[in-house]
Amino acid sequence: MRVNAYAALGPAQAVVPWSYEINDVQPHEVLVRVLACGICHSDVHMIDNDWGFSRYPLVPGHEIVGVVESVGAHVQTLQTGQRVGIGWQRSACGHCEDCLRGQDHLCDESTGVITHGYGGFASHVAVDARYCFPLPESLPTESAGPLLCGGITVYSALRAAGMGSGLRIGVVGLGGLGHLAIQFASRMGNHVTAFTTTEAKAYEASKLGAHDAILIRDGRPVRRPPRPLHIVLNTVPAPTPTDVYLDLLGSDGVLCYVGAPTTPLSVPLWPLLVKRRRIMGSPIGSRATIIEMLENAAAFGVRPMVETYPLARVNDALERVRRNVVRYRAVLLA
């Protein structure tokens, strides 16, 4: 069958209508008709070849909601007509230490939906059935997509940093990632402090569930939270001062990065030593964590806030993502 897509034909170019053929759905794959697809900053990085491994034509899109249209001969877990979500990961080896301990997103052989194939800015996408997740009914098609990359990125990071409930959690930055982190952390029973740059965003943070919001001026919070934090999740993709946020953590506190500035961190060791604090980074999440995240998003009412665009207006949407003015995620609708 012919798949109608939008593809970048070279680095930093606008995407243009482009099509490709899917001849057979492989035995372990499913063919999904795309209903909605979020736009993540990684799509823009891939279009621009910022990481040096983009291959063109490049069909972006890895926050996909769709309907299973056909299943490969060996697929037993999904059925035609089922509504599913697909995120960043396309496959993993299945037998390395990481895969065997259920941390398949850390697998050295893992592949990505848009790095090793064609993504969701398209009528259809074919993927490994293991990386295709049935969506809880209460999650709306229009807004569920961003959970599959943005949502799992913050959820998995918070879990790996120790999030349960009853903790004091700081979230730095209120964008596509931050607005989901605030919702997950607060709705699952934690006290959340948002760190953001404008009064308007501080107000937005409180509406999303933050209990406190602290403004950042000249890169630094204008005041300290009344009590030390257990976890600070930094979602800002630009350099931020490490010492400032380490200093807000209590003993055994964790400073966790999900935004990826290109410059190395400058880390003073004394604040780590004296309070046994840790710094960590975290990418996406395992299959098990994605399923847990989707269940908790449904159970606790976590909803990405989205701007929707018809697929034909994809370049307008990409332009707004590039200018960083989307509140908080752009979603393309079929």
Please report, as ranges, the residues that interact with Zn ion according to CB under 5 A.
40, 42, 92-93, 96, 99, 107, 149
Q: In this complex, which beta carbon is closest to Zn ion, that of residue 148 or of residue 229?
A: 148
Residue by residue, DSSP assigns 241-300 as -HHHHHTTEEEEEEEEE-S--SSPP---SHHHHHHT-EEEE--S--HHHHHHHHHHHHHH
Q: Which amino acid is at 42?
A: S
Rounded to whole angstroms, the Cα distance separating 134 from 67 reads 10
Q: Quick one: DSSP state of residue 266?
A: -
Q: In this complex, which beta carbon is closest to Zn ion, that of residue 7 or of residue 107?
A: 107
Rounded to whole angstroms, the Cα distance separating 125 from 64 reads 9
Integer CA distances (angstroms), 9 to 93, 163, 313, 318, 331, in order: 30, 42, 17, 15, 22
Q: In this complex, which beta carbon is closest to Zn ion, that of residue 131 or of residue 245?
A: 131
Helix locations, 85-149, DSSP H: 97-100, 141-144
Q: Least separation, in Å, of the C-beta of 49 and Zn ion?
A: 16
Largest CA distance in the chain: 62
Are 30 and 77 in contact by the 8 Å Cβ rule? The answer is: no
Q: Least separation, in Å, of the C-beta of 72 and Zn ion?
A: 21
**H helix or E strand, kind and range, residue 174:** none
Q: Please, how many CA atoms are within 13 Å of residue 148, restricted to the half-sphere of its CB? A: 34
Q: Least separation, in Å, of the C-beta of 328 and Zn ion?
A: 13
Q: In this complex, which beta carbon is closest to Zn ion, that of residue 221 or of residue 237?
A: 237
Q: Quick one: DSSP state of residue 6?
A: E
CA angle at 196 for the pair 192 and 201, rounded to the nearest 5°? 95
Q: In this complex, which beta carbon is closest to Zn ion, that of residue 115 or of residue 193?
A: 115
Q: Least separation, in Å, of the C-beta of 134 and Zn ion?
A: 20
Q: In this complex, which beta carbon is closest to Zn ion, that of residue 86 or of residue 202?
A: 86
Q: In this complex, which beta carbon is closest to Zn ion, that of residue 98 or of residue 247?
A: 98
Q: Least separation, in Å, of the C-beta of 242 and Zn ion?
A: 24
Q: Which amino acid is at 11?
A: P
Rounded to whole angstroms, the Cα distance separating 33 from 302 reads 25
10 Å Cβ neighbour count for 107? Answer: 20
Q: In this complex, which beta carbon is closest to Zn ion, that of residue 106 or of residue 249?
A: 106
Burial (CB count <10 Å: 0-12, 13-18, 19+), residue 158 = buried
Q: In this complex, which beta carbon is closest to Zn ion, that of residue 66 or of residue 221?
A: 66
Rounded to whole angstroms, the Cα distance separating 168 from 191 reads 5
Q: Least separation, in Å, of the C-beta of 98 and Zn ion?
A: 5
Q: Least separation, in Å, of the C-beta of 190 and Zn ion?
A: 24
φ, ψ of residue 238 to 5 degrees: the values are: -115, 160
Q: Least separation, in Å, of the C-beta of 41 and Zn ion?
A: 7
Q: Least separation, in Å, of the C-beta of 249 and Zn ion?
A: 27
